[in-house]
Amino acid sequence: MKGTRDFPMCGFSNTVVQILKNLNVPFEVVNILENEMVRQGLKEFSSWPTFPQLYIGGEFFGGCDITLEAFQSGELQEVVERAMCS
C-alpha cells in the first residue's frame, strides 16, 4: 500500500486498511512509497498495475475496489477465515 497502517498516504490504501481493521484480523503492511523496486516488482509479480494490493495467505486477492466489494458481500470474511484456518 501507499503509506503505513497508521498513516495511509492514499484514499484507496486507507479504505483497505480500515476494512482489515474492521475485520480485526492480523495483517502486515509494506509501504511501497519507500522502495521503488518493490513498487515496480509487486506490479509485475501480481500483474496488477496499482496499489493497494491485498494478499491473503500469500495469494494476491485484489485492489481497493475488489476488496471493498468482497467485504460488503461477506466474501472477504470467508476468504480470510479460510486462510487463517489453513
* DSSP designation for 37: H
Q: Which of 4, 10, 23, 29 binds ligand GSH (CB under 6 A)?
A: 10
| Least distance from ligand GSH to the Cβ atom of residue 40, Å | 8
61: contact with ligand GSH by CB under 6 A = no
Question: Could you tell me where the beta strands, DSSP code E, fall in the chain?
Answer: 54-56, 59-62
| Least distance from ligand GSH to the Cβ atom of residue 56, Å | 15
Nearest alpha carbon to residue 9 among 37, 29, 38: 29
Size of residue set near ligand GSH by CB under 6 A: 10
50: contact with ligand GSH by CB under 6 A = yes
Q: Which residues does 38 contact at the CB level (< 8 Å), separation at least 6?
A: 30, 32
Distances in whole angstroms, Cα of residue 80 to Cα of each of 11, 12, 36, 44, 75? 22, 20, 29, 24, 9
Q: Which of 1, 12, 19, 61 binds ligand GSH (CB under 6 A)?
A: 12
Binding site for ligand GSH (CB under 6 A): 2, 10, 12, 39, 50-52, 63-65
